[in-house]
Structure 1
Amino acid sequence: MTTELNYMISKQLHALIADEPNLIAILSNASALINEQFDDINWAGFYLWDEEQDELVLGPFQGKVACVRIKNGSGVCGTAFNEERTIIVPDVHLFPGHIACDAASQSEIVVPLVKNGKKIGVLDIDAPVKDRFSEKDKEVLEELAAVLLQAII
């Protein structure tokens, strides 16, 4: 992904969420934007933290039907959330405890959403090809997550 495209996605996200207070609306447009702008992906969306249930719950997304609840520390999403770090998985079949919601998914990237020490959830993106996500993708998605975090809560 080029620097120019990175800038354009960030600028588009800012425009989409400007002055919008509703979390669901913000995350819905963010998942649609990611789905439109990233090649070779088959799922883009969010899991939001349910503190009472100690699990992540499906939020706005683009793609096939998905797992609804993920226990803290389970799979790629639960691990990234628990460890508060972005995880790139080149081959999901080699990730211990991977949760297969879509058999077509071959690689994955998960970016935790944490604001002022408060865990909010994760941004999860799957791809139908192995080795889809690069360090540059990680930078872009972490920047988009930062834009989102400025607008929410």
Structure 2
Amino acid sequence: MIKVDVMKKMSEEEKYKYMLILTEGQLSSEKDFIANLSNISAIINAAIDRCNWVGFYLYKEGELVLGPFQGLPACNRIAIGKGVCGTAIEENKVLRVGDVEKFPGHIACDSASRSEIVVPIVKNHSIIGVLDIDSPELNRFTELEEAYLIKVVEKIKKYI
């Protein structure tokens, strides 16, 4: 059983370090990719406050397709180069967007979302997908969170 309730008493960085420990534990104890992404989205959702959507889009047949997530129903498919997720994959870089309404071509899956961070998952030049997190707050995501989310993705890539 994954214990996330202990994070309530932790500092922000302690939560992110614990998030990495839980992610490693999940990945090392389970082989199924979808089961892992499902629990990792729940782990991230528990560790990072003030988010309204945490999940994955997976690369299939030339586009990003909705994968495991926590939050309201979302867009099923995103074209490469479209929205924050598709742009992050096209440019193969983390995108931390403080105001999604100012992002050209933003795709509004949840009208409450105001900021977003997307971390591409690419291994050996092969696109796997993206980790996508939304918040109803402007400028929600910090450099510290970005650094730890990159570490989460690195752990995922290690087990692919």
Instruction: Give the TM bin, normalised by the shorter chain.
Output: over 0.9
CA-CA distance at 1:8 after TM superposition? 1.1
Name the residue aligned to 1:75.
Answer: 83
Q: Separation in 2 of the partners of 1:103 and 1:2?
A: 27
- After the TM superposition, list the runs of 4 or more consecutive aligned residues in structure 1 that deviate by more than 6 angstroms: none
Matched pairs, number = 150
Task: Give the alignment partner of residue 138 of structure 2, picking from 114, 118, 130.
Answer: 130
CA-CA distance at 1:2 after TM superposition? 4.1
Q: Separation in 2 of the partners of 1:64 and 1:6?
A: 23
Name the residue aligned to 1:39.
Answer: 49
More off after superposition, 13-22 vs 80-89: 13-22
CA-CA distance at 1:116 after TM superposition? 1.4
Opposite residue 37 of structure 1, the aligned amino acid is A
Q: Separation in 2 of the partners of 1:44 and 1:2?
A: 17
RMSD over equivalenced CA pairs, Å: 1.1
Query: Taking structure 1 as the reference length, what is the TM-score of the superposition?
Result: 0.95
Name the residue aligned to 2:17.
Answer: 7
Query: Taking structure 2 as the reference length, what is the TM-score of the superposition?
Result: 0.90
Matched, 1:17 2:17: no
Opposite residue 87 of structure 1, the aligned amino acid is L
Name the residue aligned to 2:129.
Answer: 121
8 Å Cα contact 2:26-2:39 kept in structure 1: yes
The gaps in structure 2 that reach 5 residues or longer are 1-10
Task: Give the alignment partner of residue 152 of structure 2, picking from 141, 144, 148.
Answer: 144
SS of the aligned residue for 2:113 comes to coil
Q: Separation in 2 of the partners of 1:126 and 1:72?
A: 19
SS of the aligned residue for 1:85 comes to coil
Matched, 1:49 2:32: no
The gaps in structure 1 that reach 5 residues or longer are none
